[in-house]
Structure 1
Amino acid sequence: MGNAQDKPPGTGGGGGRSDQATAGSGARGRAGGSAEKAQTHKASEKRVANGRENSPAGGQGQQGSPAVDTSYLDAPSGALPPHLARLKNEGNHLFKHGQFGDALEKYTHAIDGCAEAGIDSPEDLCILYSNRAACYLKDGNSTDCIQDCTKALELQPYSLKALLRRAIAYESLERYRKAYVDYKTVLQIDTGVQAAHDSVHRITKMLIEQDGPGWRENLPDIPAVPLSVQQHHREKPISVEVAQARAARAAQEEVRKKEACFTLLKREGNDLVKKGHFQEALQKYNECLSLKSDECALYTNRAICFLKLNHFEEAKQDCDSALQLEPSNKKAFYRRALAYKGLQDYLSASSDLQEVLQLDPNVREAEQELEVVTGLLRQSLMDSSAHTPRV
């Protein structure tokens, strides 16, 4: 299960669901031992053991319908016996599919089952309480979420998810000092929890507004997380979901850095062009294109550098690339015309300049250049005719 963080602060959290018939609320989940609850529990276990609870809500599928994959129920789960492990796995499955009330019931049955079987596995019980707390949090029941997280933390004092969920619940109840302490404790264990960083920053502003400059004096003590716990957390194998989330964040950060570098290089290139440092600008645009090769403006900008350095063939090629990206780019047509002029291909230059004027008749530079190119074309034809022997 992932960290349940999508309840915004201040959405409240009083009582649990009023229509939960099984031991779903904190009081009923902890009362233990009534004959009715035991009977319900055994019936539920029997249905799970017989493999009949195959629908997402835990009901029996219709006869003749396609078989539903329930292999996830048999996944190993710590030190829990198979029938309790199946309850926990089914709760995880239901939670993942947004059925928080049904998931809560499964976790409650598993917790009660541990008590009845005399199972003393702090790690497994901590996970069950923390998972049920996530269900309470999703349902807006912040009070019971805090109780379950506190129980989980009594079993495993530095459980990251229990701390984070309790912090969110405290914040939703506007108990900002306690939320602040839990978020800071989370960051001692794992500095990479961005949600905790964001929340600490947000709550700090609230506490300053509430208590003034001496807001820290009113905070409860923040526990010092032992180095051994921090080291154990760093060495602990991460789940597939966490690995995917970290990879996604790393990819986003890489894109952000790449975009920032690209913007800086492009700005530096443009500034160098304005100063007339075309060779240096050329290098900046080369670096830009290595980061983003589909930016039309880079090709037209680099074409300026090539033109100024009398590299007409390279300028033409850059304008060709720009026109492949934007077939009606006026700058690309105009600068390719200048490249053709430098290559003494006056007919192609004239064609590109006419294309510019067709796209925008108000480009004065294109009109002037067309007059020059037309004169050069006429002169080249006359020279060619003069050097052609009469037959």
Structure 2
Amino acid sequence: MVNAAADAKKNEGNEAFKKQDYSNAVAKYTEAIEIDPTNHVYFSNRSAAYAGWGKYQEAVDDAAECIRINPQFVKAYHRHGVALKGLKKYDEALATLRAGQRVDFNNADLNRLVTEIEPLQARAEQAKRSGMNPAELLKERGNDAFKSAAFEKAIELYGEAIEACSDKPGSALALSCYNNRAACNQQLSNFSGVIRDCTHVLEFDEKNQKALLRRALAYEGLERYRLALQDIRALLAINPSIDIANKAQHRLSNYVRQLKQSN
């Protein structure tokens, strides 16, 4: 049920928005949200006002909240895409628009914005890659393969990228390739491969959260529960808010306890 007081503030915001008085529109929509923070429309409207004002990050945040409250509200995906386009985050913009298309594939606004952003994304990608060295290009090709779920091809490309920067095995680029190759092997349930690559990363960066989590889950896959629990505890000491790690700690603690009881 619509809150009358909140809706009145929304209507005042709409009037300000029509006059392109975006700062006042934001203020009115904010008042509406303070009265009723469960209404997704208020976040959608404030996102549009922020975008009109040129405050794209705030527009992104409001559109994301609107989607969280009501994932079926197609307009929110358009708002999110517009704001991400304003930040020149074209990959993310296309991802959210395609998520919106899964809700309503025939939505003209979504389809039009996808058509606008695709060439911008292609030009940005071309410009980015033109300044890359061979190892960076191989990594990007690996990323493309991963996104297409071509995990074996991605493993091959990440391996070539690692070879291309073999003189710097601890560089950020090399560690990223090892981590990404571990993610591919995780998808293929090649747990030994995951452990090998994550161990390399952790030799140079002992607090790398992705490597700790992936190695822990790989150890679990091989039923090496004590080592898995050790990695999970190390990860949670760095970042105690990772939900998957907290669940894994509970699960692994039970496994280790059962092992002790059976010995």
Which has a greater percent of helix?
2
Larger Rg: 1
Structure-1-length-normalised TM-score: 0.34
Structure-2-length-normalised TM-score: 0.50
